Amino acid sequence: MSTRRVFSGIQPTADSFHLGNYLGAVRQWVALQEDRDAVYCVVNLHALTVPYDPEALRRRTRVAAAQLMAAGIDPERSILFLQSQVPEHAELTWVLSGVTGFGEASRMTQFKDKAAKTGADSASVGLFTYPVLMAADILLYQTDEVPVGEDQRQHLELSRTLAGRFNHRFGKTFVVPDAYILRAVGKITDLQDPVSKMSKTSSSPQGIIDLLDEPGVIRKKIARAVTDAESQVRADEENKPGVTNLLRIYSALASEPMDDIAARYGDSGYGTFKKDLAEIMVDTFAPIRERTMAILADPDGLEKVLANGADRARAIARETMTAVRDHAGLPGAPASG
Ligand code: TYM
């Protein structure tokens, strides 16, 4: 049996990834390199769907790639690349948009939530078709599994639907991808509002921990994380969402079952529990932060790594697009020279 292909992407829309990105996605990306054929992408084209500053986007794209490497993505073993360096993503998006229903796209809850914030009239058409670009990302690489957080599940379903529909209409072209979502870490919540997702767009600075936060900032944010009026460390999603979120984070970072952690801290109050959690987080993030800075200090080296990733990604993407054009009745660009 051939090695299974995984593909995933992350947006460069902030100056750092946050704890939810790390636990919900990036950590799995690193682990999956071991025995999968892994392709990872900084999806800078997705970042064009909201108003943005080109210089900030350029900087954040570099920082995103550096952080992925610092977190453990090995660009020799995995393919790591920037979406804008492989033009087939945009081309396949257009082809897939022809088999996507308007109603189907209208039911995407992330679009509805984001459009509700700005008002549907000022939301861009790109924001609306964003899940089609995401489907193109995944389907171009004949992906078997997509490691993501819970918030991407509906988009993943759409990718599966579009792959199946295209195959049915035009003949087998795409692998139909499966979601790879870990229940325990699929939804890390906001430290100040523990029933809502930790999110770069809607969380307050106190509610979100950035991978690149200084140790002192991490300690403060954990100390101020919302808990409850009891003093017992135990998991109870309904009644103790704040403590349960912290337990989940602790359990993931320390690779220790939640029950064992809860039993150890028990009724001793939240002080020591939070202090210990903050130290585990600082120990995990400090080396990532240092490596990120070191990688960014050599911009030429980073550019070379990404150019190599784009070459390798493009070889796969080209092959898929040739099949797509062939099946869909589209002559490609004539060979030059
Ligand atoms: P993005 O950039 O918002 O987030 C990157 C990854 O982090 C996960 N995530 C979380 N996981 C757990 N708890 C949270 N609070 C949390 N917040 C974010 C996301 O689920 C995601 O896996 N549309 C995607 C990017 C994308 C993509 C793709 C992903 C574009 N093309 C193709 C997979 C395959 C997005 O906006 O993720």
Instruction: Take atom 27 of ligand 1 and give the residue whose Cα is closest.
Output: 9
pTM as predicted: 0.97
229 CA from centroid of ligand 1 (Å): 33
For residue 59, the CA-to-ligand 1 centroid distance in Å is: 19
Which tens digits make up the pLDDT trace of 14-50? 999 999 999 999 999 999 999 999 999 999 999 999 9
Residue 197 annotated to the active site: yes
pLDDT band of 337, cuts 50, 70, 90: low
Residue 172's pLDDT is: 98
Instruction: Please spell the DSSP secondary structure of 111-161, one letter per residue.
Output: HHHHHHHH-GGGS-HHHHHHHHHHHHHHHHTT-SEEE--GGGHHHHHHHHH
Query: Is 114 considered catalytic here?
Result: yes
The pLDDT mean for the chain works out to 96
* Ligand 1 neighbours by CB, cut-off 6 Å: 7-11, 20-21, 24-25, 43, 46, 134, 137-138, 146, 148-149, 151-152, 155, 186-188, 197-199
Q: What is the mean pLDDT of residues 60-85?
A: 98
Query: pLDDT digit string (tens) for 282-314?
Result: 999 999 999 999 999 999 999 999 999 999 999
CA of 234 to the centre of ligand 1 (A): 28
Q: Which of 112, 117, 187, 200 is catalytic?
A: 200
- Considering only 57-61, 254-258, 268-272, which range has the smallest mean pLDDT? 268-272
Q: Report the separation in Å between the CA atom of 26 and the middle of ligand 1, taken as the mean of its atom positions.
A: 9
Average pLDDT over residues 219-233: 96
Helices 299-328/54-71 angle, 10° precision: 100
Mutation test of ligand 1: which of 5, 28, 43, 154 has the most ligand atoms closer than 8 Å to its C-beta?
43
Residue keyed to tokens 């257009």 = 94
**SS3 readout for 202-261:** CCCHHHCCECCCCHHHHHHHHHCCCCCCCCCCCCCCCCCHHHHHHHHHHHHHHCCCHHHH
Taking phi over 0 as left and psi of -120 to 50 as alpha, with beta for the rest, 121 belongs to alpha
Active-site hit among 114, 187, 221, 240: 114
